[in-house]
Amino acid sequence: MERYTARQVQRALAQEQILQRLDQGEDFENLCQELGLSLSRRSLPYLRRRHCQGGSSWEALIDHRHGHSFKVTLERRGWLREQKRENPALTQQELTALFENEFKEPISQSRVSDILREEGVATPGGQRYHPQEEHALPVERAGVFFPPGRCSPDGRAEHGNPGGSGGENCPPGS
């Protein structure tokens, strides 16, 4: 028989209680708050399936993390999201260092990247953050970039005579 930590047992019992009380029509958010769980509605089908496949026993809901806490709680996700919103130029490496200084927990850059993407504040891959500035391009010298072309007597462009200067075949006045 496998031995479980008190925390694992408490969490599994609370999850079982949520499933049973939801079937009786109680409110999901109130139950989570009352039982001290941070679950999302998306995890309910997964919990129900594990519970049913495990013989409707609380032991089927054991998370098998052996007492290790989750590093990134909802509050910490919110903290990361706000840091990125306040300063969009922060890189994952900088955010990782800030997270480790703030919470004294190591976290990988890829995990930070995943969280930012899930929270909708990630910079698209392969791109650096560039502040939004308007740059007006000078238009007065635009003609410098377009060399004089050759045109035939009927006004169409001509692609021959590589040794010419370019304007000798154009009709006068054009």
Its pTM surpasses 0.85: no
109 and 144 in contact (C-beta within 8 Å)?
Answer: no
CA nearest neighbour of 86 among 124, 121, 114, 130: 121
Above 50 in pLDDT, residue 1?
no
For 10-67, how does the pLDDT look when each residue is reduced to its tens digit (9 = 90+)? Answer: 888 988 999 999 989 888 899 888 888 888 888 889 888 888 888 888 877 876 665 5
Above 70 in pLDDT, residue 125?
no
For 51-62, how does the pLDDT look when each residue is reduced to its tens digit (9 = 90+)? Answer: 888 888 887 787
Contacts of 113 (CB under 8 A, 6+ apart): 92, 122
Range of the domain at 10: 6-61
The more confident residue out of 171 and 41 is 41
**Domain count of the fold of the chain:** 2
Residues 86 and 109 in one domain: yes
pLDDT band for 126, please (50, 70, 90 cuts).
low
Residues 49 and 81 in one domain: no
SS (H, E, C) 48-102: HHHHHHCCCCHHHHCCCCCCCCCCCCHHHHHHHHHHHHHCCCCCHHHHHHHHHHH
Rounded to whole angstroms, how far apart are CA atoms 107 and 84? 16
CA nearest neighbour of 102 among 66, 140, 137, 75: 75
> What pLDDT is stored for residue 101 in this prediction?
93
Residues 17 and 50 in one domain: yes
Rounded to whole angstroms, how far apart are CA atoms 132 and 130? 6
> What pLDDT is stored for residue 144 in this prediction?
57
For 78-92, how does the pLDDT look when each residue is reduced to its tens digit (9 = 90+)? Answer: 999 999 999 988 888
Residues 10 and 55 in one domain: yes
For 144-170, how does the pLDDT look when each residue is reduced to its tens digit (9 = 90+)? Answer: 555 566 656 666 656 555 555 555 555
Residues 47 and 11 in one domain: yes
Rounded to whole angstroms, how far apart are CA atoms 13 and 29? 17
The position carrying tokens 């399936």 is 49
pLDDT band for 139, please (50, 70, 90 cuts).
low
Residue 174 is assigned to a structural domain of this protein: no
